[in-house]
Amino acid sequence: MCGIAGLLGVDTDYIDQSMTRMVERIAHRGPDGTGQWRSHDKRVALAHTRLAILDTSDAGKQPMHLESHDLHLVVNGEIYNYLYLREDLERSYGIQYSSNCDSEIILHGYAHEGTAFFKRMNGMFTFALVDCKKKLFILFVIASVLNLFMYVIRIISLPSTQKLNHSLLLLSPLNGRLIDRA
Protein backbone atom coordinates (compact mmCIF):
# COMPACT_ATOMS: atom_id res chain seq x y z
CA MET A 1 0.00 0.00 0.00
CA CYS A 2 1.34 3.44 -0.92
CA GLY A 3 1.84 6.23 1.57
CA ILE A 4 0.49 9.76 1.17
CA ALA A 5 0.99 12.95 3.12
CA GLY A 6 -0.19 16.51 2.71
CA LEU A 7 0.30 19.77 4.54
CA LEU A 8 -1.11 23.24 4.20
CA GLY A 9 -0.42 26.36 6.19
CA VAL A 10 1.50 29.61 6.38
CA ASP A 11 4.71 28.51 8.12
CA THR A 12 6.80 27.34 5.16
CA ASP A 13 9.79 26.36 7.32
CA TYR A 14 7.55 24.09 9.36
CA ILE A 15 6.13 22.57 6.17
CA ASP A 16 9.66 21.86 4.87
CA GLN A 17 10.70 20.14 8.10
CA SER A 18 7.46 18.23 8.46
CA MET A 19 7.36 16.93 4.90
CA THR A 20 10.91 15.63 5.16
CA ARG A 21 10.06 13.75 8.36
CA MET A 22 6.72 12.51 7.07
CA VAL A 23 8.25 11.06 3.89
CA GLU A 24 10.94 9.34 5.95
CA ARG A 25 8.27 7.78 8.17
CA ILE A 26 6.25 6.35 5.26
CA ALA A 27 9.18 5.34 3.01
CA HIS A 28 8.63 1.62 3.75
CA ARG A 29 5.16 1.87 2.18
CA GLY A 30 6.53 2.89 -1.20
CA PRO A 31 9.51 0.84 -2.36
CA ASP A 32 9.00 1.93 -5.98
CA GLY A 33 9.68 5.64 -5.54
CA THR A 34 8.92 8.87 -3.74
CA GLY A 35 7.56 12.14 -5.07
CA GLN A 36 6.77 15.56 -3.64
CA TRP A 37 5.05 18.72 -4.85
CA ARG A 38 4.90 22.24 -3.43
CA SER A 39 2.59 25.06 -4.47
CA HIS A 40 4.09 28.24 -5.91
CA ASP A 41 3.61 30.07 -2.61
CA LYS A 42 5.11 27.06 -0.73
CA ARG A 43 2.06 26.90 1.57
CA VAL A 44 0.74 23.57 0.30
CA ALA A 45 2.70 20.34 -0.02
CA LEU A 46 1.89 16.80 -1.12
CA ALA A 47 4.05 13.69 -0.89
CA HIS A 48 3.69 10.11 -2.06
CA THR A 49 5.64 6.91 -1.56
CA ARG A 50 4.83 4.51 -4.35
CA LEU A 51 3.98 0.85 -4.48
CA ALA A 52 3.48 0.44 -8.25
CA ILE A 53 0.76 -2.06 -9.15
CA LEU A 54 -1.36 -1.02 -12.16
CA ASP A 55 1.11 1.15 -14.07
CA THR A 56 4.72 0.46 -13.14
CA SER A 57 6.08 3.01 -15.62
CA ASP A 58 7.21 6.52 -14.72
CA ALA A 59 3.83 7.77 -16.03
CA GLY A 60 2.20 6.42 -12.87
CA LYS A 61 4.41 8.40 -10.48
CA GLN A 62 2.77 10.68 -7.93
CA PRO A 63 1.99 13.36 -7.09
CA MET A 64 0.10 13.48 -10.39
CA HIS A 65 -0.61 16.78 -12.07
CA LEU A 66 -3.07 18.13 -14.60
CA GLU A 67 -1.23 21.32 -15.47
CA SER A 68 -3.97 22.69 -17.74
CA HIS A 69 -6.24 22.93 -14.69
CA ASP A 70 -3.51 23.45 -12.05
CA LEU A 71 -4.57 20.26 -10.22
CA HIS A 72 -2.26 18.14 -8.07
CA LEU A 73 -3.06 14.74 -6.54
CA VAL A 74 -1.81 11.95 -4.28
CA VAL A 75 -3.75 8.70 -3.91
CA ASN A 76 -3.56 5.61 -1.75
CA GLY A 77 -5.75 2.60 -2.49
CA GLU A 78 -7.61 1.25 -5.47
CA ILE A 79 -10.52 2.46 -7.61
CA TYR A 80 -12.30 -0.74 -8.62
CA ASN A 81 -14.35 0.71 -11.47
CA TYR A 82 -11.59 2.85 -12.96
CA LEU A 83 -11.63 1.10 -16.37
CA TYR A 84 -15.32 1.91 -16.83
CA LEU A 85 -14.82 5.51 -15.64
CA ARG A 86 -11.73 5.91 -17.81
CA GLU A 87 -13.61 4.84 -20.93
CA ASP A 88 -16.62 6.98 -20.03
CA LEU A 89 -14.48 10.11 -19.53
CA GLU A 90 -12.58 9.41 -22.74
CA ARG A 91 -15.83 8.98 -24.70
CA SER A 92 -17.59 11.97 -23.11
CA TYR A 93 -14.74 14.49 -23.08
CA GLY A 94 -12.12 13.15 -25.50
CA ILE A 95 -9.54 12.80 -22.75
CA GLN A 96 -6.05 11.65 -23.66
CA TYR A 97 -4.49 9.79 -20.73
CA SER A 98 -0.79 9.87 -19.97
CA SER A 99 -0.76 6.69 -17.84
CA ASN A 100 -2.59 3.43 -17.25
CA CYS A 101 -2.96 4.27 -13.58
CA ASP A 102 -6.36 4.33 -11.88
CA SER A 103 -5.39 7.52 -10.02
CA GLU A 104 -5.30 9.63 -13.19
CA ILE A 105 -9.07 9.41 -13.64
CA ILE A 106 -9.55 11.48 -10.48
CA LEU A 107 -7.79 14.46 -12.06
CA HIS A 108 -9.75 14.27 -15.31
CA GLY A 109 -13.07 13.44 -13.64
CA TYR A 110 -12.76 16.38 -11.26
CA ALA A 111 -11.61 18.73 -14.05
CA HIS A 112 -14.74 17.95 -16.10
CA GLU A 113 -17.41 17.10 -13.52
CA GLY A 114 -16.21 18.67 -10.27
CA THR A 115 -16.74 16.93 -6.96
CA ALA A 116 -19.82 15.13 -8.35
CA PHE A 117 -17.39 12.77 -10.08
CA PHE A 118 -16.26 11.40 -6.73
CA LYS A 119 -19.66 9.77 -6.17
CA ARG A 120 -19.10 7.67 -9.29
CA MET A 121 -15.95 6.02 -7.97
CA ASN A 122 -16.09 2.63 -6.25
CA GLY A 123 -13.20 1.21 -4.29
CA MET A 124 -11.10 1.54 -1.21
CA PHE A 125 -8.99 4.68 -1.37
CA THR A 126 -8.00 8.00 0.10
CA PHE A 127 -6.77 10.99 -1.84
CA ALA A 128 -5.74 14.59 -1.42
CA LEU A 129 -6.40 16.89 -4.37
CA VAL A 130 -5.18 20.47 -4.60
CA ASP A 131 -7.02 22.79 -6.99
CA CYS A 132 -4.77 25.86 -7.16
CA LYS A 133 -7.14 27.84 -9.41
CA LYS A 134 -10.04 27.51 -6.98
CA LYS A 135 -7.75 27.51 -3.92
CA LEU A 136 -9.18 24.20 -2.69
CA PHE A 137 -7.56 21.38 -0.75
CA ILE A 138 -9.87 18.38 -1.05
CA LEU A 139 -9.49 15.27 1.07
CA PHE A 140 -11.66 12.33 0.10
CA VAL A 141 -11.78 9.10 2.10
CA ILE A 142 -13.74 6.01 1.16
CA ALA A 143 -12.03 3.29 3.12
CA SER A 144 -12.46 2.20 6.67
CA VAL A 145 -9.29 0.09 6.57
CA LEU A 146 -6.92 2.89 5.57
CA ASN A 147 -5.61 4.93 8.48
CA LEU A 148 -6.07 8.65 8.20
CA PHE A 149 -5.21 11.12 10.89
CA MET A 150 -5.84 14.84 10.78
CA TYR A 151 -4.08 17.11 13.21
CA VAL A 152 -4.56 20.75 13.95
CA ILE A 153 -1.28 22.21 15.06
CA ARG A 154 -0.37 25.46 13.35
CA ILE A 155 -1.35 23.92 10.05
CA ILE A 156 -3.56 21.09 8.88
CA SER A 157 -1.70 17.89 8.06
CA LEU A 158 -3.06 14.80 6.42
CA PRO A 159 -0.71 11.86 6.93
CA SER A 160 -1.86 8.43 5.83
CA THR A 161 -0.30 6.28 8.54
CA GLN A 162 -0.32 6.18 12.29
CA LYS A 163 3.50 6.25 12.31
CA LEU A 164 3.34 9.88 11.24
CA ASN A 165 1.76 10.81 14.57
CA HIS A 166 5.10 10.75 16.27
CA SER A 167 6.97 12.80 13.65
CA LEU A 168 4.31 15.50 13.68
CA LEU A 169 4.30 15.76 17.44
CA LEU A 170 8.09 16.00 17.53
CA LEU A 171 8.08 18.86 15.02
CA SER A 172 5.11 20.72 16.41
CA PRO A 173 5.67 23.81 18.51
CA LEU A 174 2.29 22.98 20.10
CA ASN A 175 0.77 19.73 21.26
CA GLY A 176 -1.04 18.00 18.41
CA ARG A 177 -4.64 17.03 18.99
CA LEU A 178 -6.22 14.17 17.11
CA ILE A 179 -9.47 15.55 15.71
CA ASP A 180 -10.54 12.96 13.19
CA ARG A 181 -9.78 9.35 12.56
CA ALA A 182 -11.21 7.44 9.63
How many Cβ atoms are within 10 Å of 119's Cβ, its own excluded? 9
Catalytic residue status for 2: yes
Q: What is the CA radius of gyration of the chain?
A: 16
Q: Which of 12, 41, 6, 38 is nearest to 138 (CA)?
A: 6
| Alpha carbon distance, N-terminus to C-terminus of the chain | 17
Asked if 70 and 81 count as a contact pair (C-beta separation under 8 A), the reply is no
Q: Which of 1, 2, 7, 164 is catalytic?
A: 2
**Distance from CA of residue 52 to its chain's centroid?**
15
At residue 167, φ and ψ (nearest 5 deg) are: -65, -35
- Between CA 18 and CA 32 the distance in angstroms is 22
Residues belonging to the active site:
2
